[in-house]
Structure 1
Amino acid sequence: MDVTDIVERFRRAAFGLEDWQDALAGFAGATDARVVHLIGMDRSGAVAFDLIRGVTPDMVDTFVREGGLSRHTNPRTGVAIDGPMLRTVFDDALLSRHERDALPIYRNLFDRADAGFAALTRLRVPGCDAILSLLRPRSFLDSADREAHIIDAAAPALSDIMAQAVALGAGLDRTVRETAELLEQRVLLLDGDRRMVQMSPGCEAWLAPAGPLTMRGGRIHARDAATDRALSLAIAQALDPLQALRPGRRVVLRMPGSDGHDEGERLILTVRAAPRRPSGPLARARVMLSAKTAAAPSAELFADLFGLTPAEAQVAVLLAVGHDSAAIARLRGCSVATVRTQVMALLNKTGTHRQGELVARLRGAC
């Protein structure tokens, strides 16, 4: 496969006409690379795109855990920031074999893939520090001129293609947000690392100094610890391919009142997977948070939040205001055994284990 064919595969992948893995495979075939990695990080350090072929998911986890994206632990990452633009650099220009052997990511990842030696080039993608890495055994060094010729010839066109793909992906993220806004008014799109991608104008209040959300290390968190745990679980479900098609989890956010202390509006935040285009343009959004206002705590609020039946929701309201099972049975004209059965259903649906914990969960949602 020549350079023209390689570039055409990437161009087709950028517009959704071919899988990105096919494009990476073409580059691997032309250079005998074991691993091909194409990554770009924006100025905040968030990953704008990350395409890799030739390693298993657990190896990628090892790479990230050992600091593979940090220039302080991986000299190759420094090429993306400080290296020569559109010119191939080989490992020997970056570090000695002794230095390479001392770095955990090389021992734990690259040796396992029999791809300990790399040829790298920095791509020109506006707004990103981008790098193309091709890795294989030491035989890379035996054909360095040939590999450098192929990489250098393809790099300018790949830079343009990735820039177009990023722009097109951002446009598709914007379309997702605007479509969701028509249904639920306020929408916040996050990437897979909880970093903000796009948000509706009405979401600024969520991130205000007294708002229910905050940014820590560039990532979105709920200000309240219990709510943040619920939000983390909801995001984890949205990111899990086995659960992403399930209905989104709901989390209640409580906005501050006009005086900054009393409670204001309650928001039912629905957390779900954003529409994915894994083989098409590089859209960053992975998680969509949308909200609707709950006017006051009610059976409707509990039913919507926890997926309760009407009867269970009425019992939840009575529990939240302090009634015990006997009182609820009298008020609802049913047996205590029926109420206990409904309480068991509430424990299951709210993820609680004791009635006191259930009541605290219900009151916390109010």
Structure 2
Amino acid sequence: MRRHTRIPTDGVATPRAGRAMNAPAELIDLIYEAAAVPELWPTVLLQLCGMAGAHAGALTSMDASGLAGYLATDTYEAAYRDYWEHGNAVENVRLGRSLRDYPMAFSSDLELCSEAELATDPLYLRFLRPHGLEWTAGTVIPVPSGDMLVFDLATRAGAGRFDREAMALLDRIRPHLARAALLSHRLGRRVAANQAAAMQLVGLPSAVWGHAGRLLAANDLFEALAPRVQFAAFGRLAFTDPEVDRLAQAAMASIGSEAEPMVRSIPIHAAPDAAALVVHLLPVRRAGGDIFVAAEGVIVVTPVAAPAAPLTQVLMGLFDLTPAEAKVARGIASGLDVQHLAATLALSRETVRSQLKAVLAKTGTRRQAELGLMLSGARPLPGAK
């Protein structure tokens, strides 16, 4: 799911136009207000552009896999959208150099790299210059979780370069930006933890995941599902069953898209000492301005413990089945075959087969027997795989 917000603007000051601007108390107040109300960060970005004479501005969240989310002014949106879709594999050497040479300050690109380096830098050649942008400046704020928050500014082509005077002006408010951004990040982490904790109150194992399937928070009930649920490298969530993991990873990767139907309720077969489970993946719909944790979705796990066929309404809710599909699923869970189902429901066998095919697709199962076992919560057949 794309985690970004576009900030509409009618244009921002050129470098020379911003030189005489000060850092007013009102801006500092706004920065701290944005710490608790992320929707205000767009206004802060526009103020930073005005102070430095930048044409475009962005606030980004970076993790080990690259860009995790961003806020961008209207003038930066096309470049960032392009980078989001095609540029995560491109190395940005300026981040490491900024942390090394200007760890507590803003710096311009020409303070971090030579002009010759930037002339061949793929980020500039592929994602800046084609979108009418020329020079950049910014600051990196490390986050205790290992992520980085980056304030990024850019000039329009031909408007001039950033200089140390502009960086010094931004440095006057950098401590406020850093404290407020870190507070926003911590508050976002708390929101993710609270989401998982709330599910525990009603007895449901739950976890919140973010960019690239990275686990942000999980309640005790979810952690107790190990080893069927695994916590892999880089905090990635995984499942022991390869087929379950394949379906889950595909669902997490496409959770923000409705372009094509995806299985988002995934069965986990019963084990000799554990009940069958259904893993439900739900998207997180949040204010676009909150990029600090970038929660993509919530996983909720429900046990399938009852040997009797589940209620039709329950099946509809668990797997997004239509009423007709739910009746077919319930019949399969009761042990009926297609011929008996057709007679019971007064339908043709072709209609039942069509509905059964839809049920298999929505539940992530491949065979009628597999569907029946999953829905009834029965133990696997000896030797079944």
Alignment of 1:216-295 (within 5 A): 216-236=233-253, 238-240=255-257, 249-254=264-269, 256-258=271-273, 264-279=274-289, 282-295=292-305
Relative distance call for 1:62 and 1:163 in structure 2 (3 A) is closer
1:221 Cα deviation after fit = 3.0
Q: Give the aligned partner of residue 38 of structure 1.
A: 59
Q: TM-score, normalised by structure 1?
A: 0.78
Instruction: Provide, for residues 158-197 of structure 1, a one-character-per-residue CA deviation record: whole Å limited to 9, x for no partner.
Output: 0111111112222222222222222342111001321000
Relative distance call for 1:249 and 1:57 in structure 2 (3 A) is farther
Q: Give the aligned partner of residue 117 of structure 2.
A: 99
The structure 2 residue matched to 1:90, chosen from 100, 108, 125, is: 108
Q: Which amino acid aligns with 1:223?
A: T
Relative distance call for 1:81 and 1:202 in structure 2 (3 A) is farther
- The whole-number CA distance in structure 2 between the counterparts of 1:139 and 1:230 is 49
Relative distance call for 1:162 and 1:194 in structure 2 (3 A) is same
1:25 aligns with 2:46: yes
- The whole-number CA distance in structure 1 between the counterparts of 2:113 and 2:103 is 19
Relative distance call for 1:76 and 1:154 in structure 2 (3 A) is same
Q: Give the aligned partner of residue 36 of structure 2.
A: 15
Instruction: Provide, for residues 11-51 of structure 1, a one-character-per-residue CA deviation record: whole Å limited to 9, x for no partner.
Output: 22222274322221221233232332323446x66767643
1:282 Cα deviation after fit = 3.6
Alignment of 1:343-362 (within 5 A): 343-351=353-361, 357-359=366-368, 362=371
1:51 aligns with 2:71: yes
Relative distance call for 1:80 and 1:361 in structure 2 (3 A) is farther
Q: Give the aligned partner of residue 110 of structure 1.
A: 128
Show structure 1 runs of 5+ residues with no match. 259-263
Q: Which amino acid aligns with 1:251?
A: I
Instruction: Provide, for residues 94-143 of structure 1, a one-character-per-residue CA deviation record: whole Å limited to 9, x for no partner.
Output: 32333223232221211123223112223365444333221114667555
1:313 Cα deviation after fit = 2.2
Q: Give the aligned partner of residue 23 of structure 2.
A: 3
Alignment of 1:329-348 (within 5 A): 329=342, 332=344, 337-348=347-358
How many pairs are equivalent? 343
- The whole-number CA distance in structure 2 between the counterparts of 1:215 and 1:143 is 43
- The whole-number CA distance in structure 2 between the counterparts of 1:231 and 1:104 is 34
- The whole-number CA distance in structure 1 between the counterparts of 2:161 and 2:134 is 14
Q: TM-score, normalised by structure 2?
A: 0.74
- The whole-number CA distance in structure 1 between the counterparts of 2:199 and 2:119 is 50
Instruction: State whether residues 231 and 251 of structure 1, in contact with CA within 8 Å, keep that contact through their aligned partners in structure 2.
Output: yes
Paired residue secondary structure (2:140): strand
Instruction: State whether residues 235 and 271 of structure 1, in contact with CA within 8 Å, keep that contact through their aligned partners in structure 2.
Output: yes
Instruction: Provide, for residues 308-345 of structure 1, a one-character-per-residue CA deviation record: whole Å limited to 9, x for no partner.
Output: 54531233336xx6x65335456x3x65x534312212
RMSD: 3.6
- The whole-number CA distance in structure 1 between the counterparts of 2:238 and 2:92 is 29
- The whole-number CA distance in structure 1 between the counterparts of 2:239 and 2:168 is 50
Q: Which amino acid aligns with 2:240?
A: R
- The whole-number CA distance in structure 1 between the counterparts of 2:118 and 2:48 is 25
Q: Give the aligned partner of residue 119 of structure 1.
A: 137
The structure 2 residue matched to 1:66, chosen from 52, 64, 87, is: 87
1:314 aligns with 2:333: no
Relative distance call for 1:312 and 1:76 in structure 2 (3 A) is same
Q: Give the aligned partner of residue 381 of structure 2.
A: none
Relative distance call for 1:11 and 1:278 in structure 2 (3 A) is farther
Q: Which amino acid aligns with 2:23?
A: V
| Percent identity over paired residues | 18
